[in-house]
């Protein structure tokens, strides 16, 4: 008869009996795993929640089932008739930047002018501060139209309801403020607050001129039974050359979608780092638990249990505890959208719905399981091999053997699973792979550093002070917390230092370097006939300089070598070239700050077939080279031009940088405007602003300072999100640290009692431990700082191609933080250790 093999029933009975002993040793295990899983589940849930809401509210955000946008021109009669006949309802929206002047105090500011028809919005509701019907709010009373504004405009201009704003050649009375603008999140980056006016008033402003940067939107209601894809196919077949940009309800806010996707991916990776740090805690807890169970395991073996039975008994216990921790983490993660939608309701385009996101929760659970496997299989496999003889004899030589090959392979597979999922599910695989490689590299380096510290401490010449000697000895003695502290705290601090250094560099760029080097103003929509006079006006203000102007048009790339833009397999980093409109200009000479890197620049008096110069990275990204052709849509016409040369740009000059520059002879006769920049010292900025806005009501004046404030606001919102997730990593590290220190408590109690017996005072013992913890914190801080700074330097100089500023404050904070955390925990622990009465311990040891 073959021997009985323990069934899972037997195993679960044994496992449950074992677990009666309590889960005290698993508190850190549960906390670490739950925290990491919660972070990933939260990021996943919030991201998915936002994306789902963007889809669910697609029509509202888009303002229709289909949005057709034309730049700088209105739809032709033929096009408009077609749209009218093939839709249930149409709402025209005109958007442009303009200057608004308050008549009461003559203050001026840049606004996003949005002209709407009565049908606006086709979906969703425009909520206003006034309950008066919209036709009344917008109606013309005398020669003054009605308008509604975003509340921020009131503060900016110091105006109130009832005040009058002058825009171009006409005047608007503020009749209400906007509470909810349903399609706001589809508007992209806004330079000024919204001023909403009736569509019919626009003619009177004098701003609607050929070539002005006006976006004409045609928003259509198609009815729910209409197949949007088929409808669009028909439209494109009918007007293949219209050059309009079309969005439909399934893809309402692609920019936001991309941003949310990327943020989600990045934060998931950060969450995964937190989970990995927590994994160290999981591993420590499993090892500690199994160490305590060594005798029980040996007893099982004495009683006839084979290795597989023992392994299964403990795997089941770990699995049960891990499952509980994961469920706890998932529950916490599920609650996240609730808090996030409350806390970030002003920042997010839509609030994520509070509900179960099964795929995201499932993924977080899988990550949790895999991390548990990675960190506990090894000690479990070693436990499986504990010989029965351990019961009556400790091993004479320390056991440094590896577990059986299949467990090593299983651990490797679990690691591969995590890496595969992290990279495989990421939109930007290169970024994800880079992050994962950096994390694994940092993990390996920190592990190596921990070994090195212990090794170094062991070989340090004997210090004279007994306190320092004890401190150093504690770094390398068996069961020392060195490895756990360096690894867990180190990884969190490395991430934190890297993110802080990146943030520091980016904000240094936005707050210091750009304001110093960039022009003070961008002027948009200068009409060709007024350009000369405009230059004189600006130059007449003392303290201005480096005035530059360029002709400006906009138009989308329609095709490359005849291949339609949407069929081109472009490098994701350069795909933006094919999306939406590009700024276009023409120039006889190589633009300032540009360098021709391939092909030849055209003669100054060139007047032949259309030629263009393309920026080299963009050319590489869309697979175009010198001699190829690019077709552009310019004001409803298609222009196919040959690429004459490629240019390298210096994006950091903040001058005009056009990806596409035409040779003379093609665009001059197309209606267009000019853009200009000027530098001005801080104190004359207002004078320039006043001079220009007083005279040129049609020219939009963009202040660099205000743009930078908006950019800086967005940056700080992003960095807050990243920092919150990074803090989770540090928290996981602190948990691991606490667990490791608590695990070493028994040894410390024994030590301190022996020291006291030998005449050491409490302050002696305390000093010894403080030295140890400070040393450990200092070394961990320095390593984390080095690794984090290196990673940040790499990201700033190669990914963002920016100038590196060494963030001394961040460095100081990281090191101080590391020391404070380790010493803090050390103190708490030591305090409890010191409180133990020597007599009681000696009686039991």
Q: Does 397 bind another protein (CB under 8 A)?
A: yes
Query: Contact 283/376 with Cβ under 8 angstroms?
Result: yes
Residues 735/737/743/745 CA torsion (nearest 10 deg): -120
Q: Does 19 bind another protein (CB under 8 A)?
A: yes
Q: Does 845 bind another protein (CB under 8 A)?
A: no
Which phi and psi (to 5°) does residue 591 adopt? -55, 150
What b/e readout covers 330-350, taking b as 16+ CB neighbours within 10 angstroms?
bebbbebbbebbeebeeebbb
Q: Does 459 bind another protein (CB under 8 A)?
A: no
Minimum Å distance from CB 10 to another protein?
6
Cα separation, 62 vs 43, whole angstroms: 25
Which phi and psi (to 5°) does residue 804 adopt? -90, 130
Minimum Å distance from CB 25 to another protein?
13
Cα separation, 370 vs 277, whole angstroms: 13
Minimum Å distance from CB 397 to another protein?
5
Nearer CB in complex with another protein: 294/712: 294
Q: Does 545 bind another protein (CB under 8 A)?
A: no
Site track for another protein across 277-296, x = CB under 8 A = ------------------xx
Query: Contact 158/102 with Cβ under 8 angstroms?
Result: yes
Minimum Å distance from CB 413 to another protein?
24
Nearer CB in complex with another protein: 286/326: 286
Binding residue for another protein (CB under 8 A) from 21, 424, 562, 835? 21
How far apart are the two ends of the chain, measured CA to CA in Å?
48
Q: Does 387 bind another protein (CB under 8 A)?
A: yes
Minimum Å distance from CB 373 to another protein?
23
Binding residue for another protein (CB under 8 A) from 85, 346, 358, 392? 392
Nearer CB in complex with another protein: 127/295: 295
Minimum Å distance from CB 267 to another protein?
41
Nearer CB in complex with another protein: 356/396: 396
- Which residue matches tokens 């220009």? 692
The residue range among 19-27, 128-136, 269-277, 471-479 that interacts with another protein, by the rule CB under 8 A, is 19-27
Structure tokens at 212: 């002005």
Closest CA to 589 of 600, 603, 610, 607: 603
Nearer CB in complex with another protein: 385/617: 385
Cα separation, 106 vs 693, whole angstroms: 10
Residues 681-710 that bind another protein (CB under 8 A): none
Q: Does 309 bind another protein (CB under 8 A)?
A: yes
Closest CA to 169 of 699, 697, 701, 700: 697
Cα atoms found within 13 Å of the Cα of residue 244, Cβ hemisphere only = 27
Structure tokens at 370: 């895999």
Q: How many CB atoms lie within 10 A of CB 444?
A: 10
Nearer CB in complex with another protein: 300/696: 300
Minimum Å distance from CB 459 to another protein?
17
Q: Does 302 bind another protein (CB under 8 A)?
A: yes
The residue range among 13-21, 37-45, 252-260, 684-692 that interacts with another protein, by the rule CB under 8 A, is 13-21
Q: Does 17 bind another protein (CB under 8 A)?
A: yes
Number of residues that bind another protein (CB under 8 A): 37
- In sequence order, what are the beta bridge partners of 637? 634
Cis peptide bond N-terminal to 528, omega within 30: no
Residues sharing a CB contact under 8 Å with residue 343, sequence separation 6 or more, in sequence order: none
Nearer CB in complex with another protein: 3/162: 3
Nearer CB in complex with another protein: 61/313: 313
Q: Contact positions toward another protein, by CB under 8 A?
A: 3-7, 10, 13-14, 17-21, 295-296, 298-309, 385, 387-389, 391-393, 396-398
């Amino acid at each position: 008869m073959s021997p009985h093999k323990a069934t899972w029933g037997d195993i679960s009975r044994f496992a449950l009996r074992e677990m009666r002993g309590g889960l005290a040793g698993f508190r850190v295990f549960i906390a670490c795993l739950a925290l990491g899983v919660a972070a990933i589940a939260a990021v996943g849930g919030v991201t998915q929640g936002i994306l789902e809401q963007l889809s669910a509210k697609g029509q509202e955000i888009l303002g229709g089932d289909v949005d057709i946008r034309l730049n700088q021109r209105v739809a032709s009669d033929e096009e408009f008739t077609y749209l009218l006949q093939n839709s249930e309802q149409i709402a025209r929206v005109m958007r442009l930047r303009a200057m608004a002047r308050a008549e009461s105090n003559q203050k001026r500011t840049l606004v996003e002018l949005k002209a709407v028809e009565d049908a606006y919005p086709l979906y969703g509701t425009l909520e206003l501060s006034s309950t008066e019907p919209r036709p009344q709010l917008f109606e013309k009373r005398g020669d003054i139209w009605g308008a509604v504004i975003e509340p921020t405009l009131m503060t900016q201009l110091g105006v109130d309801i009832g005040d009058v704003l002058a825009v171009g050649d006409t005047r608007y009375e503020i009749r209400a403020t906007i509470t909810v603008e349903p399609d706001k999140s589809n508007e992209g980056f806004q330079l000024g607050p919204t001023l909403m006016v009736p569509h019919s008033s626009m003619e009177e402003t004098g701003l609607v001129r050929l070539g002005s940067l006006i976006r004409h939107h045609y928003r259509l209601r198609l009815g729910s039974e209409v197949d949007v894809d088929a409808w669009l196919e028909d439209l494109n077949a009918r007007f293949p050359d219209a050059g309009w940009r079309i969005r439909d309800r399934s893809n309402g806010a692609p920019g936001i979608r991309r941003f949310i996707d990327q943020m989600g991916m990045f934060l998931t990776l950060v969450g995964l780092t937190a989970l990995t740090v927590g994994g160290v805690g999981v591993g420590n807890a499993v090892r500690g638990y199994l160490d305590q169970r060594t005798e029980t395991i040996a007893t099982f073996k004495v009683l006839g249990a084979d290795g597989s039975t023992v392994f299964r008994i403990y795997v089941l216990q770990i699995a049960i505890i891990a499952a509980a921790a994961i469920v706890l983490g998932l529950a916490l993660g599920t609650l996240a959208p609730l808090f996030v939608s409350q806390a970030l309701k002003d920042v997010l385009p839509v609030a994520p719905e509070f509900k179960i996101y099964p795929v995201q929760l499932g993924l977080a659970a899988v990550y949790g399981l895999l991390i548990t496997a990675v960190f506990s299989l090894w000690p479990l496999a070693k436990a499986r091999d504990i010989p029965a003889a351990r019961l009556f004899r400790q091993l004479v030589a320390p056991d440094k053997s590896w577990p059986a090959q299949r467990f090593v392979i299983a651990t490797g597979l679990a690691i591969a699973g995590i890496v595969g999922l992290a990279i495989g599910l990421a939109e930007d695989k290169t970024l994800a792979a880079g992050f994962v490689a950096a994390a694994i590299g940092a993990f390996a380096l920190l592990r190596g550093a921990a070994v090195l510290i212990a090794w170094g401490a062991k070989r340090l010449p004997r210090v004279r002070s007994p306190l320092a000697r004890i401190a150093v000895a504690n770094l390398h003695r068996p069961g020392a917390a060195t490895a756990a502290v360096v690894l867990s705290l180190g990884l969190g601090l490395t991430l934190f230092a890297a993110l802080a250094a990146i943030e520091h560099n980016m904000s240094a760029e936005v707050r210091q370097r750009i304001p110093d080097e960039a022009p003070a103003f961008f002027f948009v929509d200068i009409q060709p006939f007024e350009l000369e006079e405009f230059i004189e006006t600006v130059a007449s203000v003392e303290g201005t300089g480096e005035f530059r102007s360029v002709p400006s048009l906009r138009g989308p790339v329609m095709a490359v070598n005849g291949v339609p833009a949407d069929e081109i397999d472009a490098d994701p980093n350069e795909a933006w070239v094919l999306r939406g409109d590009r700024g276009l200009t023409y120039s006889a000479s190589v633009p300032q700050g540009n360098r021709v890197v391939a092909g030849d620049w055209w003669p100054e008096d060139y007047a032949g077939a259309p030629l263009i110069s393309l920026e080299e990275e963009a050319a590489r990204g869309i697979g175009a080279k010198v001699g190829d052709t690019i077709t552009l849509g310019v004001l409803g016409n298609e222009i196919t031009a040959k690429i004459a040369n490629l240019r390298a740009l210096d994006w950091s000059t903040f001058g005009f940088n056009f990806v596409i520059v035409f040779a003379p002879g093609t665009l001059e006769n197309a209606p267009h405007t000019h853009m200009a920049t000027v530098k001005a010292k801080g104190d004359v900025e207002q004078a320039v602003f006043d001079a220009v806005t007083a005279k040129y009501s049609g020219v939009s004046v963009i202040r660099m300072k205000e743009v930078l404030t908006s950019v800086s606001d967005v940056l700080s919102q992003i960095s807050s999100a990243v920092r919150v997730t990074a803090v989770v990593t540090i928290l996981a590290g602190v948990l691991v640290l606490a667990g490791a220190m608590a695990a070493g408590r028994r040894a410390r109690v024994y030590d301190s009692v022996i020291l006291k017996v030998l005449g050491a005072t409490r302050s002696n013992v305390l000093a010894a431990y403080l030295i140890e913890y400070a040393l450990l914190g200092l070394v961990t801080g320095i390593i984390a700082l080095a690794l984090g700074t290196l990673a940040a330097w790499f990201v700033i100089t190669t990914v963002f191609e920016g100038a590196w500023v060494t963030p001394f404050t961040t460095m100081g904070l990281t090191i101080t933080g590391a020391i404070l955390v380790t010493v803090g925990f050390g103190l708490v622990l030591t305090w409890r250790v010191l409180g133990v009465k020597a007599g009681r311990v000696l009686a039991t040891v």
